[in-house]
Amino acid sequence: MDRERFPPNNVLLMLTGAGLLWMGWAGFNGGDPYSTNIDLLLAVLNTNICAATNLPASTSSSLRSMSIIGAVQGMITGLVCITPGLGTLN
């Protein structure tokens, strides 16, 4: 199988899916306290800050070249890493 060059089919759809994932993940983390309070604010704020700071950090730290796929992977990594660290999940 030729897997050396396997570009994505549609980068615009990948970016749309990444945006929907980010929005849904913020709702998932923010909806955990089941009420509107400071925990909800901190959960959504921490989710967005972690994803937004990990996106350019992982994009610029790639050794070969910066790419949109690397940026999306960094954003997903930031979302995954912040979820257990929010402190609101029971």
Res. 3 pLDDT band, cuts 50 70 90 = low
Q: Is 90 a member of any domain?
A: no
Pick the more confident residue, 37 or 72. 72
Whole-prediction pTM value?
0.78
Which domain covers residue 77, as residue numbers?
24-82
Number of domains in the chain: 1
Whether residue 42 is contained in a domain is answered as yes
Return mean pLDDT, the chain. Answer: 81
Which burial class, exposed, middle or buried, applies to 60 when counting CB atoms under 10 A from its CB (0-12, 13-18, 19+)? exposed
* 65 vs 76 pLDDT, higher one: 76
CA distance 21 to 39: 21
